Amino acid sequence: MIVGNDPTGRIQRVVVVGGSLAGVAAAEELRQRGFGGDVALVGDEALLPYDRPPLSKAVLAGEREVTETLLRPSEWYDEQQIDLTLGDAAVDLDVGGRTVGLASGARVPFEGLVIATGAAPIALPGAPPLDGVHTLRTAADAEAIRERLATARNVVIVGGGFIGAEVAATAAGHDCTVTILEALGAPMERVIGTTVAELCADLHRGHGVAVRTGALVTRLHGESAVRAVALDDGTNLDADLVIIGIGVRPSVGWLSNSGLAIADGVLCDSCCRTGAGGIVAAGDVARWEHPTLGSVRIEHWENASRQGQSAARALLGEPEPYGPVPYVWSDQYDRKIQIVGDPSEADEMTLVDGSYEELRFVALYGRAGRLVGALAMNRSRPLRAARSLLADGVSFADATEAFNSTEVKSASRRPGPTGVQ
């Protein structure tokens, strides 16, 4: 039962486009803040909104079904009076007329709009549409790859980013060869730096995965189904399952004639507001002015959830600059990698806890004398301290010193609830 009226006194009908994490978080926040007007959620996928991280982990491994990863049970939408339109894509936005056009031909009126259409995988340039070649973004993608994995003999993963590395870790448990092709020196190197990226490469190799670095794909061979992957050094790798994990692009096609400013995402101010009144954006699709990091677009789970909430508050007339310390995790084999901040362009790095040999450690990353990020492998607790230091904007030297202090060390040695410290 929804009680209360619209606290802004202006907006009585909010449409959220994008039925996933950021969209659901926005809709939920509207209700939690007492918004009593209409809330409609429009998504192009036919399924109830579900969680994506398990797709490359438990769902791909066959340990969970997608139906077990729903963000909210179906009755929640009724309870919250959120009107769901699923399996129908938004195809245009009329800012002046305050309507969203759907593929079905319907026009959905709104007073407030949350853009939460996320991102979609980049296809391998020039590759023909061969059977056995997949990207991984949706439940349908995960189910299709899982089915192919059961009988695949040679799996090639193009791109050693987080998704590619997680798919490799899951595929390694199957009766097939698994190869990661990475254009750079080591998987995830761009984000986590050479030292840790090489540890990760060794982790994969230790599980029987071939990691080929500096590898550029020139062609996919096959008539109707993929047969081999050709590399620029002349190698042809046998392949009957190819997963392309070379990144995503924000899903903004439906906004192309809207007049909204778009440049690698929907451009927003620090409070998630676009240049058009009553229209906000959140999650993987949003590029906003982070109060300390500048113009950023973040493709991580926690951001989509928190930014959805922030965007909803802005719609309700409670804008506040949204400036999180970015956080992402990745599960590969029995290792949990967690990153706070942005280590990608660090010019220094130091180990402050644990050891590289045990693959259980925390490393700090600095740039121009400032702490810019921290990475933990199977060490959750100390990362919280690093996150606070990042929020405080401390220098790299002070952060290193703080980590070596008794206080951080003893706090981080208390075991966490899951046994991962």
Ligand X SMILES: Cc1cc2nc3c(=O)[nH]c(=O)nc-3n(C[C@H](O)[C@H](O)[C@H](O)COP(=O)(O)OP(=O)(O)OC[C@H]3O[C@@H](n4cnc5c(N)ncnc54)[C@H](O)[C@@H]3O)c2cc1C
Residues that bind ligand X (CB under 6 A): 17-23, 42-45, 52-53, 55-56, 89-90, 116-119, 136-137, 163, 251, 254, 283-285, 299-302, 304, 328-330
Residue 251 or 274 having the CB closest to ligand X:
251
What are the phi and psi torsion angles at 218 (to 5°)?
A: -105, -25
List beta partners, residue 268: 288
| Tokens, residue 411 | 């706090």
Nearest distance, CB of residue 22 and ligand X, angstroms: 4
List beta partners, residue 350: 364
How many residues can be counted in the chain?
421
What are the phi and psi torsion angles at 302 (to 5°)?
A: -60, -35
Q: What is the dihedral of CA 336, 337, 341, 342, to 10 degrees?
A: -160
Distance CA 142, CA 136 (A): 6
Helix (H, G, I), strand (E, B) or coil at 207: coil
What are the phi and psi torsion angles at 250 (to 5°)?
A: -60, 140
Nearest distance, CB of residue 326 and ligand X, angstroms: 9
Nearest distance, CB of residue 153 and ligand X, angstroms: 23
Residue 103 or 225 having the CB closest to ligand X:
103
Nearest distance, CB of residue 51 and ligand X, angstroms: 7
Helix (H, G, I), strand (E, B) or coil at 127: coil
Residue 52 or 306 having the CB closest to ligand X:
52
Residue 188 or 328 having the CB closest to ligand X:
328
Nearest distance, CB of residue 121 and ligand X, angstroms: 8
DSSP 134-168: E--SSHHHHHHHHHHHTT-SEEEEE--SHHHHHHH
Nearest distance, CB of residue 393 and ligand X, angstroms: 23
Residue 254 or 403 having the CB closest to ligand X:
254
Alpha helices by DSSP H, listed for 38-155, are 74-79, 139-149
Nearest distance, CB of residue 257 and ligand X, angstroms: 13
Amino acid symbol at 43: G
Residue 37 or 53 having the CB closest to ligand X:
53
Nearest distance, CB of residue 233 and ligand X, angstroms: 29
Residue 22 or 375 having the CB closest to ligand X:
22
Residue in the structure block whose two tokens are 């991580």: 300
- What is the DSSP code (8-state) at residue 281? E
Residue 328 or 363 having the CB closest to ligand X:
328
Residues with Cβ within 8 Å of 64's Cβ and at least 6 positions away in sequence, in order, are: 54, 58
Helices 162-171 + 189-206 axis angle, to 10: 10
Distance CA 265, CA 209 (A): 35
Residue 29 or 299 having the CB closest to ligand X:
299
Contact 122/248 with Cβ under 8 angstroms? yes
Residue 304 or 385 having the CB closest to ligand X:
304
Contact 276/141 with Cβ under 8 angstroms? no
Residue 407: half-sphere exposure toward Cβ, Cα within 13 Å: 7
Nearest distance, CB of residue 52 and ligand X, angstroms: 3
- What is the DSSP code (8-state) at residue 106? -
